[in-house]
Structure 1
Amino acid sequence: MGIKLGERELYPEKNYILYGPPGTGKTYETVYFAVAIIENKTLSDIKNESFDSVMERYQSYKKKGQIGFTTFHQSYGYEEFIEGIRPVVDEEDPIEKELPFKVEKGIFQKFCEQAELSTVISDGEYEIRENPTIWKVSLCKAGENDIRTECMEHGHIRIGWDEYGEDIDKVKEYTYGGSNVLNSFINKMQIGDIVMSCYKERIVDAIGIVTGEYEWVDFYEQYKRQRKVKWLIKGIREDIYELNDRKCMTLSTVYRLNHMNAADILKIVERNKTKQETKKYVFVIDEINRGNISKIFGELITLLEPEKRLGKKEGLKTRLPYSGRLFGVPENVYVVGTMNTADRSIALMDTALRRRFHFLERLPDCSLLQDVVVEGVEIDKLLEVINKRIAVLYDREHTIGHSYFMVLKQKGKCSIETLKRIFRFTILPLLQEYFYDDYEKIRLVLGDNGKLKNEQMIWAEEVEQTLFKGENDLETDDLIYYQVNEKAFDMIEAYKKII
């Protein structure tokens, strides 16, 4: 089911970019857009509701993880978006000669994993923590044994190294080895993590969720170190060789399985269960055209295609370069970007990105200012005239959005003082940027080519050649001095003459 825009439905688009000049409310509209997608409503229906109500739901969905948000910029890269190698800083000793590094998931990878997880489990069904670690645990030895049987029957996992005693903080030398295993089992493993019981080097026989803190249980004759586990499935013989990056589980008793995620594991659990209705997830990328698309997206550019999404016939997963994990984009993930055409024309966008996104233009909407009048100046007509002049002198992609004037609709703000601030500190700087300080064109846009000097926001003064000492080749057009007339911004006549 695609998102419905007004009375028409866009199906089966998954990726959208709202593009247009600055100030047309693109980022503002992503709030409506995201809520419309998640609630499967038309955009017009959502816009008929109060913004406060929509924003409250938006924040609720964001808190639940159904909406993600980021802003691209020139320094943004693949490492922040998909995955990268980051230094691990010891909070107790932040200044070290040699910093250890680890592979860390990027914001979009985490978002997709959570979305994929929602396709196989219901809310609160499994008590899994956010971004859980996947652990391999060997219960005594391979195959059937008494320790494995006892753990399955009583809902826990147990490991040994009993000779070190209950308190390993007092151990000065690990004569029998196992320091890393004990550290992982006691300190690093957390409640809400997933454990996979290793039956043989490629086979797991049970999957569970850690539900208890580390315990020393002196009742047992051996393997006294314990953690409680809620077994989700037992008695299976699942070959995870491919899922584990074609690696056998031949390392130590307890260690992380870094090449798979929670959704991969729970699909094994849920394989024979009725699938829940899939929740929709929306990831918003503000200023998408300000980032280096090839650098940020990498192999994701292919995975974003609707037919390459997980769950589709042509669904793809790629092995990520740093972690070696298999990664794909779930079918229930929508990507909504915003693009300011004043920064970059749509024609200059990365071709691969243009092929994979559905572009929706957002132009200035003067009708939203229809009832706004400041001392006789109709703001909708004022903006309409300015934008027509900009479109002729430059192009339509550099027109001025209505959102800059929306403050005039607020109670007590419809005044010449507010209008002055808008023109002096927003509109004029934009025009200066657009026309590269070509003040003659700026004057044409602002209607400053009249005779009354005191009403001109930018006025031109001819100077004599004698201003420059000695002989020169300056033409008459070069002998014009442009100056911002601060007083004009306080005069309503300066705005009336624009129209």
Structure 2
Amino acid sequence: MSQDIDYTRITQQHVLDAVKKIEDESITLEPSTKFDVVINGKSYPPKEIMRYANLLANGVKEWSLSGGEPTNRYLKAWGFEIVGKDEAPKAVTEYELTGNVFKLGCFWGTGNPNSFYEMIKSRSIVIGVNHKLYRPGDLVIITEGFTVYAIAKVISETTTVTDDPGLEIEFAKYQIEYDDYVNTAQAEWYELEKDDIFEYSERKGICRVNNYHIRNLALNLWKDRFINYWIFQGDPTEFDFGRAVHDDVLYDWTVTAHKDKIKTGDKVILWLTGKRAGCYALARITSPPEEKDNSPDSHLWKNEPKASLKAGIELTHALTGNPLLWQKIKDTNGLEEMKVGHRGTNFSATKKQYKILLNMVEKANQNMSAKIDLFINTILYGPPGTGKTYRLNEYKDEYFTDRGVSISPEDALRNKVPSFPLWKVLAAVIHASKEPIGITELIQHPLVSAKLNPANKTDPYNQIWNSLHSYADDDSTQLDNSLRRSIKLFHKEDKNKWTIAEDKVTELSDIIGQEIIDIATNPLTAPVRDVTSKTRFNFITFHQKYSYEDFIEGIKPVLKDDEFDDVGDGNLQFELKKGIFYNSCLEALRLADYETFNECYSDSVINRNSKFEAAKNLPSKQFALFIDEINRANISAVFGELITLLEDDKRIGEENEMWIELPYSNEKFCVPPNLYVIGTMNTADRSIALLDIALRRRFEFKALYPEYQEGQWWAALLEALNAAIYNWKKNPDFFIGHAFFINKQPADLTRILNTKIIPLLYEYCQNNTDAVKKILSDAGVNTKPTGIKENFQIVAE
């Protein structure tokens, strides 16, 4: 060992920084002969790693110790895995994290807080106390004041400070009081980049992080710390990128460079060259580069692709209709050095560049939705086949679908958690906490919050209390046996804290399912959040038996596999269920930043009006309820007293805002002004004149009648058919629509007439064959008997 070099100055962080340097600079390493060290799931020669770690620590790229144990012992001490050359490294997965996050503040002793920070960083350790013991796999956010500068992962069991004489010297140096209750653990440190540094307003020096947004921010930053960022570039004259996105066949991208560094989870900027050069999508890597002879988009290449090595990708933000053109963004601070426009397919990018483009995309999406050219309450009406449902689908796609957005973690939970009963949710959360937990803490957990029904008359505390005691063991509850379930899952500790009963811990995944356990471990990141589109609508088809209780709210029996899926005593359970109209109003309310109607009602009029005025002016803040066949239900019975609240001037924030109290829940309720109610009705079923007068007064009506498209083979026949129908019925409500013929060939005519048109005419004519025959004859359609004895109907020839 060189006399002027102190190898003891090398820390775990120097090793991690050395790996980053090697990867960033594509440094070629001299391979080892017997052992490799596994860092971040990848194998490296141990001596080479130590040479570069020494370069960073002491300024000299030298390592004089021999290979094998003399070198490996340093790396083992920092928690890195050493494997033989013929061994596969252990899988490195995110499940190594416990999900626990602690805070460690650096205002200790009389020294500069930065001194304490640098001391524990240089030693790659974290400091704790006995009553908050760290475990391997815990994360610790390191703060100075309220600012979080680093995250550390605990990689060893804790020992007391008094067991480490060197650490005692450091504590004495900064006049830090300590005793056997102060402990330390080895940790893998990650210093945050400037753009990732965040604030956590907690004054306690060492504490568990119970703020779930901060907790999940820390977990996500940790998991993403080694993600690479790439630019994948394409030439639109060689590959039809727009068609590939439209047809949903873009699942991989050609790789000609960095093939050994591109890995699953990396993030990608998809860039097209040419006159309209720019960013056309953002994506993630779904599989590392591999040889592929064929891809779903192979037919979209103008020429045979020169390379067959491809990485799997998934679009997270598609921008084909509104790309970020280089001409407009090239002067943006932070994008000046982007490696675009050069010859080649794959280039490295930076996290900053990706985040700048992501922010641009998300900001643009706030204003990308089309201006809604509809009255707030609209009914599309017309005879069969005139495109009413087709028009609804157009409205969904054009006005109420956002593309290239990320669904929020909270929304992802709301979508996921309804399929799990409350007792399973509570069990998963208690299990994930790793220590006894009280009802107040349970209420604050995002998974429980997403599950609790805000309209339930029972307050959240009592809902949880009832569920815990219903599934508690015999020592933990005084609840009558008739109200308890056969599964005795929960156990109450001292101070009203709850745990999983000891005899149920090992079989918990069999009882409640592994999926909900995984979600509870990391609730705000477990569901997939990045999506290519997000819808802002609900859809329902009315029928004759549809009721107020289905549409607004009602008391419904609890079915098996629902809230109490272990009904051992045979007693039927009931609960308050919200209908699709209530839920649609709630979704519109949330787009205006209210979580519940009670929260909105309790807010000041000025705040309420301001929020909804802003929401009304943003297309992306509008929600829709689409009601197909709206005339099939008894409108007065379905809407009840809420028919008045549909009026545009009775909605929240409007001149005559009207709040009512719902009959079952006694909840305050009013219809938000950013909710569109759009229905369809078939005039062959019921004329507009027969519609409920209260409904007619509150809706605008848009007529859709047959379109005789000039030049189409069927146009003249359809017009003749409808003329014959009008001569008989004297009413256009019974016309035949053009949708029966769209995208059909002349050879399909007989089939269309016999399977679509003639059965409809028989319905119109109440099975009067002579009337049907005359309509067809007047339209120039030849007919013949069916050939079935005593079947007096006809078919087209």
Normalization by structure 1: what TM-score?
A: 0.52
CA contact (8 A) 2:592 2:611 kept: no
Match of 1:70 in 2: 540
Cα 1:362–1:346, aligned 2, differ >3 Å: closer, same or farther? same
Q: What amino acid maps onto 2:394 in structure 1? A: Y
Cα deviation for residue 283 of structure 1 reads: 1.1
Distance in structure 1 (CA, Å) of the matches to 2:697 and 2:581? 20
Q: How does 1:122-201 map to 2 (within 5 A)?
A: none
Q: How many residues align?
A: 292
Equivalence for 1:19: 381
CA contact (8 A) 1:113 1:261 kept: no
Q: CA shift at 1:110, angstroms? A: 1.1
Any conservation in 2 of the 1:117–1:262 contact (CA below 8 Å)?
no
Question: Shift of the alpha carbon at 1:397?
Answer: 0.4
CA distance in 1, matches of 2:753, 2:531: 37
Q: Does 1:389 align with 2:724?
A: yes
Instruction: For residue 447 of structure 1, report the CA deviation from its aligned partner.
Output: 0.8
Pairing 1:456–2:783 present: yes
Q: Which residue of 586, 595, 614 maps to 1:113? A: 586
1:94 CA displacement? 5.1
Residue 307 of structure 1 contacts residue 314 of structure 1 at CA under 8 Å; is this kept in 2?
yes
1:442 aligned partner? 772
Aligned-pair CA distance for 1:357: 0.4
The residue type equivalent to 1:298 in the other structure is: G
Give the deviation of 1:407 after TM superposition. 3.5
What's 1:420 paired with? 750
Distance between the aligned counterparts of 2:548 and 2:792, measured in 1? 46
Cα distance in 1 for residues equivalent to 2:658 and 2:607: 20
1:401 is matched with which residue? 737
Q: 2:711 aligns with which of 360, 371, 389?
A: 371
Question: After superposition, what is the alpha-carbon deviation per residue over 1:71-95, rounded to whole angstroms, capped at 9, x for unaligned?
Answer: 1001111111100001123534357
Letter of the 1:118 counterpart: L
* Equivalent residues of 1:303, 1:329 under 8 A apart: yes
- Pairwise CA distance, 1:63: 7.1
Contact 1:82 1:109 in 2 (8 A): yes
Displacement after TM superposition at 1:415 (Å): 4.0
Residues 601 and 668 in structure 2, CA contact (< 8 A), matched pair in contact too: no
d(CA) in 2 for partners of 1:485, 1:107: 44
| Structure 1 position 347 matched with structure 2 position 689 | yes
Cα displacement string for residues 395-420 of structure 1 (whole angstroms, at most 9, x for unaligned residues) = 21001111011131xxxxx142x222
2:636 to 285, 289, 294: 294
Given residue 84 of structure 1, which amino acid in structure 2 is its aligned partner? Answer: G
Aligned match of 1:127: none
Q: How does 1:41-52 map to 2 (within 5 A)?
A: none
What CA deviation, in whole Å up to 9, does each residue of 1:111-137 have, x standing for no partner? 10121122136xxxxxxxxxx7x8xxx
**5+ unaligned residues in a row in structure 2: which ranges?**
1-369, 403-529
Structure 1: which amino acid aligns with 2:541?
T
TM-score with structure 2 setting the length: 0.34
CA distance in 1, matches of 2:531, 2:679: 18
The separation in 2 between residues aligned to 1:351 and 1:482, in whole angstroms, is 42
Q: Closer, same or farther in 2 for the Cα pair 1:391/1:314, shift >3 Å? A: same
C-alpha distance in structure 1 between counterparts of 2:733 and 2:609, whole Å: 53
Question: Are the aligned partners of 2:661 and 2:668 in contact in 1 as well (CA < 8 Å)?
Answer: yes
Whole-Å separation in 2 of the counterparts to 1:396 and 1:18 = 15
User: Which amino acid letter does the alignment assign opposite residue 389 of structure 2?
Assistant: T
CA distance in structure 2 between the partners assigned to 1:292 and 1:361 by the alignment? 22
Shift of 1:386: 0.4
* Residue-by-residue CA offset, 1:261-291 (whole Å, 9 max, x unaligned): 4545787997799775441111110000001
Secondary structure at 2:724's aligned position in 1?
helix
Counterpart position of 1:199: none
> Over aligned residues, Cα RMSD in angstroms?
3.7
Separation in structure 2 between the aligned mates of residue 440 and residue 17 of structure 1, nearest angstrom: 35
Secondary structure of the equivalent of 1:113? helix
User: Structure 1 residues 118, 264: CA separation in 2 closer, same or farther (over 3 Å shift)?
Assistant: farther
**Cα pair 2:376 2:648 within 8 Å, conserved:** yes
The answer to whether the 8 A contact 1:117-1:263 is kept is no
User: What is the one-letter code of the residue matched to 1:110?
Assistant: N
Q: CA deviation at 1:444?
A: 1.2
- Greater mean alpha carbon deviation, residues 77-86 or residues 26-35: 26-35
Q: 1:407 & 1:312 partners in 2: Cα distance?
A: 45
For the residue of structure 1 that corresponds to 2:582, the secondary structure is: helix
> Residue 443 of structure 1 contacts residue 449 of structure 1 at CA under 8 Å; is this kept in 2?
no
Conserved 8 A contact 1:113-1:263:
no
Hey, what does 1:147 align to over in structure 2?
none
SS of corresponding position for 1:297: helix
Contact 1:448/1:456 (<8 A) preserved: no
Paired with 2:569 and 2:641, the residues of 1 have a C-alpha distance of 35
1:307 aligns with 2:681: no
SS at the partner of 2:626?
A: strand
State the SS of the aligned residue for 2:555.
Answer: strand
State the Cα distance separating 1:317 from its structure 2 match.
1.1
* Cα shift at 1:372: 3.3
SS at match of 1:298: helix
Flag the 1:80–1:459 CA change in 2: closer, same or farther, 3 A: closer
Alpha-carbon contact 1:120-1:263 (below 8 Å) kept: no
SS at match of 1:407: coil
Answer with 379-388 or 64-73: which moved more: 64-73
The answer for the alignment partner of 1:164 in structure 2 is none
Of 96-105 and 441-450, more deviation after overlay is shown by 441-450
Question: Conserved in 2, the CA contact under 8 Å of 1:17 and 1:357?
Answer: yes
Question: Which is bigger in relative contact order (C-alpha 8 A, separation at least 6)?
Answer: 1
What residue is the counterpart of 1:88 in the other structure? 558
Q: Is the 8 A contact 1:120 1:267 kept in 2?
A: no
Helix, strand or coil for the counterpart of 2:625? strand
Letter of the structure 2 residue corresponding to residue 407 of structure 1: N
Distance in 1 (CA, whole Å) between partners of 2:611 and 2:642 is 30
Residues 1:32 and 2:362 are matched in the alignment: no
Q: In structure 2, the residue corresponding to 1:431 is in which secondary structure?
A: helix
Q: Does the aligned pair in 1 maintain the 2:543–2:632 contact within 8 Å? A: yes
SS of match in other structure, 1:406: coil
8 Å contact kept, 1:69–1:283: yes
Q: What SS class does the counterpart of residue 311 from structure 1 fall into?
A: coil
Aligned equivalents of 1:425 and 1:272: distance in 2? 54
Distance in 1 of aligned mates of 2:599 and 2:698? 28
Question: Counterparts of 2:575 and 2:558 in 1: how far apart (Å)?
Answer: 7
Cα gap change, 1:61/1:310 in structure 2, threshold over 3 Å: closer, same or farther? farther
- Within 5 Å, give how 1:141-290 maps onto structure 2: 261=598, 263-264=600-601, 276-278=614-616, 279-290=621-632
Distance verdict in 2 for CA 1:93–1:359, change over 3 Å = same
Residue 674 (structure 2) aligns with: 332
User: What is the aligned partner in structure 1 of residue 297 from structure 2?
Assistant: none
Partners of 2:401 and 2:534 within 8 A in 1: no
Secondary structure in 1 aligned to 2:719? Answer: helix
Q: 1:80·1:106 contact (CA, 8 Å) conserved in 2?
A: yes
